[in-house]
């Protein structure tokens, strides 16, 4: 594993009697896209707040880019970018003014707002006030704002939630570009499909603890059940659905028998989704 | 803390500020109030004739003038300063008393005093000051008046002019409203729109953000208070001292505003809080409105130490040494409020709230 950009060790955070984060530890390698998945209340936001220096852990230690976050939060924050789930732009300012403000705060000397706006598909809209932007445009501007300082680590919280497919695709494209530039991406999402598409590794968080952490492929192999879904035409003319588990000793014979004995209309295989695996591990869904 | 980042944030506040209703209020309310009072009472200082003296010796005339409570006396160091003050209407009449004035009178020799009169001064003020000058001169020369005038005071003999009573309110309105409400409302608005969270993960520190917001309130309210005092002809030759005191008062008010902005969650809660504590903030001014209330009660309220030094300077021509005690308390209040603010910032970081 390359040198980690993020090292979290034994993090604990408690709100009164509620243990929000319970001794979690993980590392994120430089240049990796790391997915942080879990239902509401699992402790994702608290963990991200601690990682980004907004909240001091009650126990444990965080090192980002070799910087002790508790001791030097501002030094660390100068090298990260954060895109929040909820819009938090200056609505009465234009898109370009928002970017310029943050570029100045990050001490970026030569900053080209137009180029950044073009990257996120907002070219020609930089002078418009943010209050007139659609949700997708605001989200893209948030991504652009997180990139003003060319961060070494990028924290993205539900970056494509509620967006139209075009906006979501544009944001995924930028995320991949940033990875190619060498940035480490910490992606918090409910969207299992997105995590599967983008992440090199994912961590499942449940009730403040990490219950699984690996590549999506390995998790699927370890916990998932590959299936074959078959639709057959019954003698009475109705469509009936059959499910056959793959990876069992008698699977070939079962499939052969079906093909020979039934009138097969459709047949396709499917591997387990990350959501299936999450449910299997935790006993509950991500939406809960 | 970075002055560059404070500057960046302050620039944003300045550009966006005038769109804020509080900003408009902070500018408009003291001016409107000032003009309304001027319409009702003339200038705030028209209640007492204002005399300026340059005493080149140590004349008894100055002492007689100082002892007369029905005029407002200002001592000037130079004739140039006296003339300038008269020209701009800061005093109704300015006189230059020569060094040998008392000795010449005592010797029965003729002598001259130069008097400047403000062209727009009220006739009654000119007449009163002229009469008083003649009376003091007779007194120094040892001449008895040929007539004994027996006077009987009728009506409320201890009543203060309304202009004097309203001045603390006007000062508090100018300083406290802008300096406190601007940073408070800006901070709360940023919390509501979550932009404060976005700032929190930049290299800008909490101190940078607080300072930028505070500076706007402090700057605007200090300027507005000076403008209001100038509009009312209240500025004397101690304008620098007045400005310094107003600046300290604005700093204290801005700190209170930031504390409030840190504690409350939304604009509605902010206005509810202001309503709740408004009486405490303006209590010294309200007490000054009613002289029958024991005036020592005003000392209980922190804003007394903001307004009283200003009153002492503009109404009684106090020097720095005269108001040192009041300023000491004001500085202590600034230090305590600053410490509370630092504790709140630390608590917010620990709790992950902005």
Q: pLDDT tens digits for B231-267? A: 776 776 788 899 999 999 999 999 999 999 988 888 8
Q: Please check whether residue B65 is in contact with residue B101, taking contact to mean a CB–CB distance below 8 angstroms.
A: no
**Where does the pLDDT of residue A121 fall: very low under 50, low under 70, confident under 90, or very high at 90 and above?**
confident
Give me the pLDDT at residue A2, please. Answer: 61
**Chain B residues whose beta carbon lies within 8 Å of the beta carbon of residue A147:** none
Residue B329: C-alpha distances to residues B238, B304, B312, B335 (Å) = 21, 10, 15, 10
The pLDDT, as a whole number, for residue B159 is: 58
Please tell me if residue B21 touches chain A, with a CB cutoff of 8 Å. no
More confident residue, A120 or B152: A120
Confidence of residue B350 (pLDDT cuts 50, 70, 90): low
DSSP of B87-118, one letter per residue? HTTS-SEEEEE-TTHHHHHHTT-----EEEE-
Q: Is B345 on the interface with A (CB under 8 A)?
A: no
Interface contact flag, A88 B195, Cβ < 8 Å: yes
In the predicted structure, residue B210 carries a pLDDT above the cut 60: yes
* Beta-carbon separation of A56 and B16 below 8 A: no
CB within 8 Å: A54 and B352: yes
The pLDDT score that the predictor gives to residue A1 is 54
Residue B5 contacts A, CB cutoff 8 Å: yes
d(Cα B170, Cα A82) in Å, to the nearest integer? 46
3 state DSSP class of A21: strand
Contact yes or no for A92 and B350 at CB 8 A: no
Note the pLDDT tens digit of each residue in B326-346: 999 999 999 999 999 888 888
What does the pLDDT read at residue A27? Answer: 95
Q: Mark yes or no for CB contact B203/A78 under 8 Å.
A: yes
The pairing of strands B72-76 and B50-55 is parallel
- Round to whole Å and give the CA distance between B219 and B253: 12
A13 pLDDT tier (thresholds 50, 70, 90):
very high
Residue A286 pLDDT > 80, yes or no?
no
pTM across the whole model: 0.74
The verdict on a CB contact (< 8 Å) between A92 and B19 is yes
Ranges A3-12, A131-140, A211-220, B32-41: which has the least confidence: B32-41
Ranges B65-69, B93-97, B184-188: which has the least confidence: B65-69
Rounded Cα gap, residues B114 and B112, in angstroms: 7
Q: Using CB atoms, pick whichever of A77, A88, A145 lies closest to residue B197.
A: A88
Query: How many angstroms separate the Cα of A233 from the Cα of each of A238, A252, A259, A264, B153?
Result: 6, 21, 12, 6, 117
Q: How buried is residue A58: exposed, middle or buried, by Cβ count under 10 Å (0-12/13-18/19+)?
A: middle
Q: Report the SS3 class of residue B263.
A: helix
Q: Is the pLDDT of residue A231 over 70?
A: yes
Which residue bears the tokens 């900053």? Answer: A111
Do A88 and B198 lie within an 8 Å CB cutoff?
yes
Instruction: Provide, as residue numbers in chain B, all residues whose Cβ is less than 8 Å from the Cβ of A106.
Output: 202-203
The yes-or-no verdict on residue A59 having pLDDT over 80 is yes
CA distance A76 to chain B (A): 8
Chain A residue with Cα closest to B20: A92
How many degrees, rounded to 5, is the angle at CA B75 between CA B72 and CA B81?
115
Q: Do B352 and A55 touch (CB under 8 A)?
A: yes
Q: What is the pLDDT of residue B53?
A: 93
Q: Which of A54, A92, A101 sits opposite B201 (nearest CB)?
A: A54
Compare B227 and B348 and report the one with higher pLDDT: B227
* CA-based nearest distance A90→chain B, Å: 7
pLDDT digits 0-9 by tens, A175-201: 999 999 999 999 998 888 888 888 999
- On whether any CB of chain A is under 8 Å from the CB of B354, the answer is yes
Name which of B16, B19, B203 is nearest A105 (Cβ-Cβ).
B203
CA distance B223 to B175: 9
Residue A132 has pLDDT above 60, yes or no: yes
- Average of pLDDT values for B27-53? 74
- Over range B8-16, report the average pLDDT: 88
User: Could B203 and A88 be called an inter-chain contact, meaning their C-beta atoms sit closer than 8 Å?
Assistant: no
Rg of chain A over all Cα atoms, to the nearest angstrom: 23
pLDDT value for B317: 79
What is the nearest CA distance from A86 to chain B, expressed in angstroms? Answer: 8
- How many residue contacts between A and B have a Cβ separation below 8 Å? 65
Q: Which residues of B touch A96 (CB under 8 A)?
A: none
**Least confident segment among A101-110, A118-127, A245-254, B143-152:** B143-152
Q: Which residue from A46, A91, A106 is facing B203, i.e. has the nearest CB?
A: A106
Residue, of A175 and B68, whose pLDDT is higher: A175
Residues of B numbered 163-222 whose beta carbons fall under 8 angstroms of chain A's beta carbons: which are they? 193-195, 197-205
Minimal Cβ distance to B203: which of A56, A91, A107 = A107
- On whether the CB atoms of residues B319 and B327 are closer than 8 A, the answer is no
Among A83, A101, A141, the residue to mutate for chain B (most B Cβ within 10 A)? A101
pLDDT at B153: 62
Q: Which residues of B touch A88 (CB under 8 A)?
A: 193-195, 197-198
List chain B residues with CB under 8 Å of A89: 195, 198
- Token reading at A201: 């590794």
Q: Which residues contact B19 (CB under 8 A, 6 or more apart)?
A: A92
A52, closest residue in chain B (CA to CA): B201
SS (H, E, C) B58-72: CCHHHHHHHHCCCCE
What rounded mean pLDDT belongs to chain A?
88
Chain A residues whose beta carbon lies within 8 Å of the beta carbon of residue B350: 55-56
Cβ contacts of A16 on chain B, cutoff 8 Å: none
Contact A181, A119 (CB under 8 A): no
pLDDT of amino acid B173: 85
Q: Do A55 and B197 touch (CB under 8 A)?
A: no
The stretch B104-110 carries a mean pLDDT of 83
- Residue A79 pLDDT exceeds 90: yes
Residue B315 pLDDT more than 70?
A: yes
Kindly list the distances between the CA atom of residue B326 and the CA atoms of A93, A119, A225, B257, B323, in Å, as whole numbers in the listed order. 43, 59, 79, 22, 5
Give the percent of chain B with pLDDT over 90.
Answer: 25
Q: What would the two tokens of residue A248 be? A: 């069992």
The mean per-residue pLDDT over the stretch B150-168 comes to 68
Of A55, A91, A104, the CB nearest to B193: A91
Predicted local distance difference test score (pLDDT) of residue B43: 55
Pairing of strands A33-37, A201-206: parallel
> Among residues B221, B148, B350, which one has the least CA distance to residue A49?
B350
Distance of alpha carbon B144 from its chain centroid, rounded? 42
The arithmetic mean of pLDDT across residues A242-259, rounded, is 83
pLDDT of B42 higher than 80: no
Averaged pLDDT for residues B93-121: 87
């Amino acid at each position: 594993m390359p040198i980690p950009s993020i090292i979290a060790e034994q993090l604990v955070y408690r709100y009164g009697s509620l243990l929000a984060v319970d001794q979690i530890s993980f590392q994120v390698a430089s240049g990796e896209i790391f997915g942080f998945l879990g239902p509401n209340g699992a402790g994702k936001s608290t963990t991200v707040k601690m990682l980004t220096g907004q909240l001091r852990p009650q126990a444990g230690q965080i090192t980002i880019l070799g910087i002790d976050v508790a001791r030097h939060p501002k030094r660390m924050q100068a090298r990260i970018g954060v895109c929040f789930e909820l819009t938090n732009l200056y609505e009465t300012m234009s898109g370009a003014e928002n970017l310029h403000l943050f570029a100045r705060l990050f001490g970026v000397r030569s900053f080209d707002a137009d180029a950044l706006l073009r990257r996120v598909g907002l070219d020609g809209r930089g002078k418009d006030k943010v209050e007139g932007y659609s949700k997708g445009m605001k989200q893209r501007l948030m991504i652009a704002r997180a990139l003003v300082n060319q961060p070494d680590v990028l924290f993205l919280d539900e970056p494509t939630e509620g967006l139209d497919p075009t906006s979501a695709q544009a944001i995924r494209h930028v995320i991949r570009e940033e990875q190619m530039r060498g940035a480490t991406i910490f992606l918090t999402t409910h969207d299992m499909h997105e995590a599967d598409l983008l992440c090199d590794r994912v961590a499942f968080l449940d009730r403040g603890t990490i219950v699984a952490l690996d590549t999506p492929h390995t998790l699927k192999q370890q916990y998932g059940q590959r299936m074959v879904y078959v639709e057959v035409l019954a003698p009475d003319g109705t469509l009936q659905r059959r499910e056959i588990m793959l990876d069992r000793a008698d699977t070939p014979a079962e499939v052969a028998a079906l093909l020979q004995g039934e009138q097969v209309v459709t047949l396709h295989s499917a591997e387990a989704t990350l959501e299936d695996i999450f449910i299997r591990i935790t006993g509950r869904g991500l939406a809960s | 803390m970075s002055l560059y980042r404070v500057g960046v944030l302050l620039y944003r506040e300045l550009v966006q500020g005038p769109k804020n209703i509080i900003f408009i209020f902070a500018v408009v309310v003291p001016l409107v109030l000032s003009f309304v009072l001027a319409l009702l009472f003339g200038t705030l200082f028209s209640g007492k004739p204002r005399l300026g003296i340059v005493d080149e010796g140590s004349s008894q005339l100055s002492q007689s003038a100082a002892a007369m409570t029905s005029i407002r006396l200002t001592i000037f160091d130079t004739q140039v300063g006296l003339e300038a003050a008269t020209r701009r209407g800061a005093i109704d009449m300015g006189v230059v008393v020569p060094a040998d004035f008392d000795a010449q009178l005592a010797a029965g020799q003729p002598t001259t005093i130069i008097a400047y009169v403000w062209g727009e001064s009220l006739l009654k003020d000119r007449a009163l000051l002229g009469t008083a000058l003649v009376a003091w001169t007779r007194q120094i020369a040892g001449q008895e008046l040929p007539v004994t005038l027996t006077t009987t005071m009728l009506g409320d003999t201890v009543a203060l002019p309304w202009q004097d009573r309203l001045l603390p309110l006007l000062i508090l309105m100018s300083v406290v409203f802008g300096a406190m409400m601007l940073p408070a409302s800006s901070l709360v608005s940023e919390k509501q729109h979550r932009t404060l969270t976005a700032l929190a993960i930049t290299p800008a520190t909490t101190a940078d953000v607080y300072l930028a917001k505070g500076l706007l309130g402090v700057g605007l309210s200090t300027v507005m208070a000076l403008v209001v005092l100038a509009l009312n002809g209240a500025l004397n030759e101690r304008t620098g001292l007045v400005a310094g005191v107003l600046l300290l008062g604005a700093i204290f008010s801005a700190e209170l505003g930031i504390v409030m902005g840190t504690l409350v969650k939304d604009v509605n809660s902010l206005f509810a809080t202001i309503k709740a504590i408004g009486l405490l903030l303006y209590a010294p001014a309200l007490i000054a409105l009613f002289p029958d209330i024991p005036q020592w009660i005003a000392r209980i309220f922190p804003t007394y130490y903001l307004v009283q030094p200003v009153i002492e300077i503009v109404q009684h021509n106090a020097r720095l040494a005269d108001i040192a005690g009041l300023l000491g308390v004001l500085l202590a209040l600034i230090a305590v409020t600053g410490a509370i603010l630092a504790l709140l910032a630390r608590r917010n970081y620990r709790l992950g709230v902005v």
